[in-house]
Amino acid sequence: MFQFAQRMCVFALAAVGLYAQTAIMPPVQATRTSGMVGIAEGQSAQLNVLNPGDAPASSAVACSALLAFWGDDGKVLKSAVVNVTPGTGGHIEIDSDKDLTLAVNARKEIRATVTIPPVPPPTPSSTTPPKALCKLIGTLEIFNTLNGHTLVTLGVGHGVPVEVATPPASGTASGN
């Protein structure tokens, strides 16, 4: 009887171990952010994304991404979904006068995020978390609205937690 109980325990542990190895992980989205940068009256900010299309031509895919501008208060200022085919780019722009209605000599601290939607979960035999299929390269530029001269360019390459980077579905303005 003792050997039977011992075998049942070993079987139960093996079954639990097998289940743990085949558990499906939830879909994952990838979000990148820029650092904070100030924008003033007469300036605009543009968030650009490039789909380098570095996959073989037969498997290169168009990438969909949520582009968003955030204020230093943690609120979404403007967002838009873009679809970017391999080898091309997409963007969203925010104007300090039209979109933010900044007063004379006023500044607003902003940052930009690029969120690539979740990918399907891995197959049960996979033990590594899924990776986003799309690789977008993001840059944030601040430029003078009157003459178009770029004042600063930042990379959008810092990973952030999903909970921080996903804007709410309602109450956001859509952009370009």
Pick the CATH number of 27-165 from 2.60.120, 2.60.40, 1.25.40, 2.40.50: 2.60.120
Cα separation of 162 and 131, whole Å?
A: 14
Contacts of 126 (CB under 8 A, 6+ apart): none
Mean pLDDT across the chain, nearest whole number? 77
pTM over 0.85? The answer is: no
Cα separation of 37 and 111, whole Å?
A: 6
User: Between residues 96 and 125, which one has the greater pLDDT?
Assistant: 96
pLDDT at site 166: 47
Residue 8 has pLDDT above 50, yes or no: no
Average confidence (pLDDT) over 112-116: 92
Residue 137 has pLDDT above 80, yes or no: yes
Cα separation of 145 and 93, whole Å?
A: 11
pLDDT at site 24: 52
Average confidence (pLDDT) over 22-49: 83
Residue 73 has pLDDT above 80, yes or no: yes
14-23, 26-35, 63-72: which range is least confident on average? 14-23
For residue range 96-111, list pLDDT tens digits in order: 999 999 988 999 999 9
Binning pLDDT at 50, 70 and 90, where does residue 12 land? very low
Sketch the domain layout of the chain as residue ranges.
27-165
Residue 38 has pLDDT above 90, yes or no: yes
For 34-166, strand residue ranges (E) read: 37-40, 43-50, 63-71, 76-84, 89-95, 107-116, 137-144, 150-156, 158-159
Average confidence (pLDDT) over 63-72: 94
For residue range 46-56, list pLDDT tens digits in order: 999 999 876 55
Average confidence (pLDDT) over 151-164: 74
pLDDT at site 134: 78
